[in-house]
Structure 1
């Protein structure tokens, strides 16, 4: 059993550079795993965009810490979808540092995301998964977190606000 301390908090504009660093690490890892071209992403431009989007209320993030060290991030935005039931959350980026992936922080971060979505009144949370070959490797994690595969790259977790929001 891993006895490291795991905790979470919502991000603020002051966290923009750290969020950006983790998103860049995610981008590099996904590009390498899927053997796709890396998009041009840099810390300064990414940090500035992150700062502005959080400041404008268009972008949200939950930070995860293991023994006090920033180790995970989930970034979110809000959108609307007819087939999603109205106001929906979108996971834009979800990253856990490789050195702490066995601590359970990913599953706990996903629970934090779902709780955040419930507080925001979202009907569901959607995200686009990596290419199918990589998705198959991680499908158990996503399904265990309550997500259903909608189609090849899109997954959804339905948030139950009350009995009347069934679609």
Structure 2
């Protein structure tokens, strides 16, 4: 559910339909990723056990990074829990997890700027530094069935 909330917030801020969110498909994808052990998810909860936010993480490899490192594809804190240390707590958990895996660093990409300047400021306060460039993507065609 929180993935949908995150994507909706991004799309509202940038004014375009940048994502297609399907809860059952996303849930199935998450279960597969977690089962395969290539994807890790951490959920922060409040005192009553209500989900306040989440962070996902996977292992990446690059020569420039001197080995393996962690990539954070999603970090979301529900609005009612922002500015209460929830995001900081999730990043602390990610750092500890990454260190236990022997990763050299964590990397994250912010949603589009300037709409998400506050997100950038949060990451900078948490010790992340801008490394330059911009995240780019291209869509690949779906694999054609073999005849």
TM-score (norm 1): 0.75
2:20 pairs with 40, 47, 59, which one? 40
Question: Secondary structure of 2:64's match?
Answer: coil
Matched with 2:97 is 116
Matched with 1:57 is 37
Matched length: 134
Residue 77 (str. 1) matches residue 58 (str. 2): yes
Question: Secondary structure of 1:146's match?
Answer: coil
| Aligned-partner Cα distance in 2 for 1:137–1:131 | 11
Which 5+ residue runs of structure 2 have no aligned equivalent? Answer: 136-147
Residues 146/58 of structure 1: CA separation in 2 closer, same or farther (3 Å cut): same
- 4+ long deviations beyond 6 Å: none
Residues 153/106 of structure 1: CA separation in 2 closer, same or farther (3 Å cut): farther
| Aligned-partner Cα distance in 2 for 1:84–1:44 | 35
- 1:110-143: CA deviation from partner (whole Å, max 9, x where unpaired): 1111111111111111111111203423332111
| Larger RCO, structures 1/2 (Cα 8 Å, 6+ apart) | 1
Structure number with the higher helix fraction is: 1
RMSD across aligned positions (CA): 1.4
1:27 pairs with 1, 4, 7, which one? 7
TM-score (norm 2): 0.85
